[in-house]
Amino acid sequence: MVEYDLVLMSLVIFTPAAFGVLALFFPAKWVEGVRWWALVGATATLILSLCLLIEYYALLDRYSDRGLRSMHHPKTQLDARVDESMRRARLDTSAPQIADDWVASVPWIQRFDINYAIAVDGFSLPLILLTSVVLFLSVIASWGIEQNVRAYFALLLILETGVLGTFFATDLFLLYVFYEIMLIPMYFLIGLWGGGRRKYAAIKFVLYTLAGSVFILVAIIGLYFTDVRDYVDKATVEDRAAERKRENPKLNPDEAREYHTFSIPVLQRAGQAAMLHLNGHGDKLAAREEGGEGKIELLGRGVKPNDASARMGQPFFRPTYQYILFLLLFVGFAVKVPIVPLHSWLPDAHVEAPTPISMVLAGVLLKLGGYGIIRLAYPICPWAAEQLSLALGIVGAFAIVYGAFVAMGQTDFKRLLAYSSVSHMGYVILGFAVWSTGARSQYWSWAMNGAMFQMLAHGISSAGMFFVVGVAYERAHHRDISRYGGLMTSMPLYGGLSAILFFASMGLPGLCGFVGEIFVVLGTWNFHPGLAVPAILATVLTAGYLLWTWQRVFLGVNPATANYPDLSARESVVLIVFCALAIALGLFPQTLVLNWMEPSVTGLVESLARLKP
């Protein structure tokens, strides 16, 4: 019997790719048919991921305490669900798996314990939804692509599979594979359908991202060579040891028990134990279900804390190794965020990519970076993250201010938006970085939730803004800000809808950008005022460059733009959806997102904050 959750999650991942591959078999003449086919594929993915949201909500709701109006429950944390699923898998293989825990794992390459392990939680689900929404809209925005339509949509949909798979994966190897899958379609989409300097931009994009993924790969291999047997249930280790003994009787018992894995939750536990050890609180370690007052249950069932401590001599538990691993993971994903000074690919890629691809790039791909940092770098190497938190905060705050200034100096509309992305994603890093513990961890929790929300909000507002530029470009065939002007008079609907997105990007209350920024700012002061003040002052700069752009593009009188037609029906659909999302997320963040996102985020904050009293 196949599990329901496995099926649904896999459907979400592979539906786009299936539609994309099938699109290649259309006759070349059926251009319009291919477009509709791709739209059907994107819609199906969107509907399936919405089903996923409902199911995840139901999962939280099963455990939630209505009286407290809170969806928090320890059992709904990803770590607990994965653990429970592993435990059951061992108990009795013939018994049906629980099909509604939204954790699924199928062996893939057993020799190296590589699994097709996927799951959803409050970190991945918002970004999964964002991906399917943005891709859906970008398919609509792609109607104007005339050349080689089949290949275009096939690549676009395969790209979606790569991104979704990265968000779903809970196995490092699987995550890496999907991460690389996403790269290839993007290269072709920029390099074949892009603007004048598209080859330069595409190669730059690929080189930067590959450089980042090499860092990640090194970290993954380093993690795999750590013996994590103490963080898995003792019984599981023994089972596996017996099996290996059968295969190779020469192994000595200790070697047979070595446990290497790509499983993210297991590695997270090991990393957290490393933090306890390095902070000198190794005595707090306890096995699962054996904890007591002041104990932290990180070890697998039946593991003796003393045995675990004895194995802390491994390089993984040394400071240098932790620093190196953290920096490898952080830098690897920071390229994608992007963090100054690794952002240089972004303006080129954005400027040269066709409009729908810019939307995907800004709306979705940048989020992979943030997601990687919070899914891998922070939980697996918390000690180093805590040691470096001030530096990371400075990196984030610097990106905010630097991006804003550079954006102010741009004359190319798209490039300006690219730099505003750099500035806005700085809030994400800042939100992650503001480590605090004890009762004050509440502030970190706000900042972290703000950072996650900022990713969503930025995904919507920036993708929408790139579409805004695309609409203007289609009419004017240039992106020079100083040659626009007067669009508000000739295209009032376009102007009005763009205004909503401009102000959303500026962080106006009632629109999506505000929520993330204010959460981050409110959480940051507690960590360090010196980081909060630049982040706050940057809001003035943001208003400055966006309004200046607004004035130069939309206001005034310009005979050259006076006869531009207003939005077509297709364009207005895309823009209205973006605006509606921006307004809805801004007005009802709790109902729409925080309710089901925040338990996971706060759960992570709490599990990290308890490591350092």
Partner 1 sequence: MVSWLLATPGRLYVVATLLPLAAYFLLLVGGCLRAVCRPYAHSPGFARFLYFFLGGHRPLKSGAYLATGAIALSAALSIVGLVNFLGESDSVSTIEFDHRWAERTTWAQVGPSDAARPAVQLELGYRIDHLTALMFAMVAFVSAWIFVFSLGYMADETEEVHEDHEAHVKRPGRYGRFFLFLSLFCFSMLNLLIADNLFQVFISWELVGVCSFFLIGFYHERDSAAFAANKAFIVNRVGDAGFLIGLALVWTYFGTFNFADIFAELATRGPPMPEHLFVIMGIGIFLGCVGKSAQFPLHTWLPDAMEGPTPVSALIHAATMVAAGVYLVGRAYPLFAPEVRLLIAYTGAITLFLAATIALVQTDIKRVLAYSTVSQLGFMMLGLGVGGWVAGLLHLLTHAFFKALLFLGSGSVIYGCHHEQELPKMGGLRHRMPVTAYTMLIGVLAISGTPFFSGWYSKDMILSNALGFALHDTEHMALCILPLVTAGMTAFYMFRLWYLAFAGEPRSHAAEEAHESPWVMTLPLVVLAIFSVCVAWGWPLWDPHASYLGHLLEKARPGPAHGLAPDDTTHSAGWLALLAAAAGFGLATLMYGVRKFDPAVVKAKAGAAYAFLREKWHFDELYDALFVRPAVALGYGTARFDKRAAPPDEAEIADQSVNVSSLDGVLNALGLGTAILGRKLREAQSGLIRRYVTVLMLVAVALFALLVVVYA
If the CB atoms of residues 153 and 502 are measured against partner 1, the closer one turns out to be 502
Cα atoms found within 13 Å of the Cα of residue 325, Cβ hemisphere only: 30
* 27 is a site residue for partner 1 (CB under 8 A): no
Q: Binding partner 1 by CB under 8 A: which of 296, 324, 547, 577?
A: 547
The verdict on whether omega for the bond into residue 338 sits within 30 degrees of 0, i.e. cis, is yes
Min separation Cβ 25 and partner 1, Å: 34
To partner 1, the closest distance from the beta carbon of 526 in angstroms equals 5
Q: Which stretch in 102-110, 257-265, 285-293, 598-606 sits in contact with partner 1 by CB under 8 A? A: 598-606
Q: Which residue has the tokens 């297709």?
A: 570
347/426 with CB nearer partner 1: 347
Residue 195 interacts with partner 1 (CB under 8 A)? yes
Q: How far is the CB of 609 from partner 1 (least distance, A)?
A: 11
- Residue 509 interacts with partner 1 (CB under 8 A)? yes
Closer residue to partner 1 in complex, CB, 9/465: 465
* The two structure tokens encoding residue 608: 């990290």
Nearer to partner 1, 167 or 503 (CB): 503
109 binds partner 1 (CB under 8 A): no
209 lies in the site for partner 1, by CB under 8 A = no
Give the CA angle between residues 62, 66, 67 to the nearest 5°.
Answer: 150
Per rule CB under 8 A, is residue 532 in the interface with partner 1?
A: yes
Applying CB under 8 A, does 224 fall inside the site for partner 1? no
Draw the binding track, 427-456, toward partner 1 (x: CB under 8 A; -: no contact). Answer: ------------x--xx-xx--x-------
* Distance separating alpha carbons of residues 286 and 297, to the nearest angstrom: 5
SS3 sequence of 444-493:
HHHHHHHHHHHHHHHHHHHHHHHHHHHHHHHHHCCCEHHHCCCHHHHCHH
Residue at token pair 């620093």:
323
CB of 519 to partner 1, least distance (A): 8
For position 24 contacting partner 1 by CB under 8 A, the verdict is no
Question: Can residue 409 be called a binding residue for partner 1 (CB under 8 A)?
Answer: yes
Q: For residues 131 and 454, which CB has a smaller minimum distance to partner 1 in the complex?
A: 454
**CB contact at 8 A, 425 and 458:** yes
Q: Does 144 interact with partner 1 (rule: CB under 8 A)?
A: no
Give the contacts of 566 (CB within 8 A, at least 6 positions apart): 490, 491, 492, 493, 494
* Region from 52-60, 102-110, 272-280, 524-532 binding partner 1, contact rule CB under 8 A: 524-532
Using CB under 8 A, which of 407, 425, 433, 481 touches partner 1? 407
CB of 483 to partner 1, least distance (A): 16
Of 4-12, 184-192, 259-267, 517-525, the segment contacting partner 1 by CB under 8 A is: 517-525
Q: Cα dihedral angle (438, 443, 449, 452), rounded to 10 degrees?
A: -100
- Distance of closest approach, residue 5 Cβ to partner 1, in angstroms: 26
Among 371, 545, 564, 578, binds partner 1 (CB under 8 A): 545
Report in angstroms how near the CB of residue 473 gets to partner 1 at its nearest. Answer: 13
Contact 469, 356 (CB under 8 A): no
Q: Which is nearer to partner 1, 174 or 433 (CB)?
A: 433
Annotate each residue in 315-354 with x if it binds partner 1 (CB under 8 A) or - if it does not, as one string.
--------------------------x--x--x---x---
- Sort strands 296-299 and 285-287 into parallel, antiparallel or unpaired: parallel
**Residue from 493, 560, 570, 613 in contact with partner 1 (CB under 8 A):** 493
Cα dist from 125 to 51, 99, 350, 516, 573, whole Å: 11, 18, 26, 17, 25
413 binds partner 1 (CB under 8 A): no
Residue 312 binds to partner 1 (criterion: CB under 8 A): no
Part of the chain binding partner 1 (CB under 8 A), chosen from 76-84, 291-299, 364-372, 516-524 = 516-524
Q: Does 196 bind partner 1 (CB under 8 A)?
A: yes
Nearest to 347 by CA among 466, 430, 178, 495: 466
Q: Say how many residues make up the chain.
A: 613
Taking the complex as a whole, the smallest distance from the CB of residue 172 to partner 1 amounts, in Å, to 28
Whether 332 contacts 436, CB under 8 Å: no
573: its two tokens: 């659909």
Binding residues for partner 1 restricted to 44-103, rule: CB under 8 A? 68-70, 72
Query: In whole angstroms, how close is the CB of 523 to partner 1 at the nearest point?
Result: 9
405 close to 541: Cβ distance less than 8 angstroms? yes
Stretch that binds partner 1, among 304-312, 323-331, 389-397, 487-495 (CB under 8 A): 487-495
Instruction: Examine residue 478 and tell whether it contacts partner 1 (CB under 8 A).
Output: no
Give 116 or 514: the residue with its C-beta nearer to partner 1.
Answer: 514
Give yes or no for residue 281 binding partner 1 (CB under 8 A).
no
Contacts to partner 1 from residues 351-370, by CB under 8 A: 351
469 by Cβ neighbours in 10 Å (0-12 / 13-18 / 19+) ranks as buried
**Pairing label, strands 103-109, 114-119:** antiparallel
Q: ∠ CA 600-133-358 to the nearest 5 degrees?
A: 110
Binding flag, residue 543, partner 1 (CB under 8 A): yes
In contact, 117 and 86? CB cutoff 8 Å: no
DSSP state of 77: S
Contact 578, 460 (CB under 8 A): yes
CA 477 to chain centre: 33
Residue 555 Cβ vs partner 1, minimum distance, rounded to whole Å: 4
496 lies in the site for partner 1, by CB under 8 A: yes
Contact 389, 441 (CB under 8 A): no
Using CB under 8 A as the binding rule, whether residue 383 contacts partner 1 is answered as no
259 vs 503 by CB, closer to partner 1: 503
Helix (H) or strand (E) holding 548: helix 529-554
> Residue 405 interacts with partner 1 (CB under 8 A)?
yes
* Complete DSSP assignment for 313-382: GSGGGSHHHHHHHHHHHHHHHHTTTTPTTS-THHHHHHHHS-HHHHHHIIIIIHHHHHHHIIIIIHHHSH
Q: Which of residues 568-597 bind partner 1 (CB under 8 A)?
A: 568-569, 572, 576, 589-590, 594
Which of residues 52 and 366 has its CB atom nearest to partner 1 in the complex? 366
For 68, phi then psi, to 5°, come to -90, 0
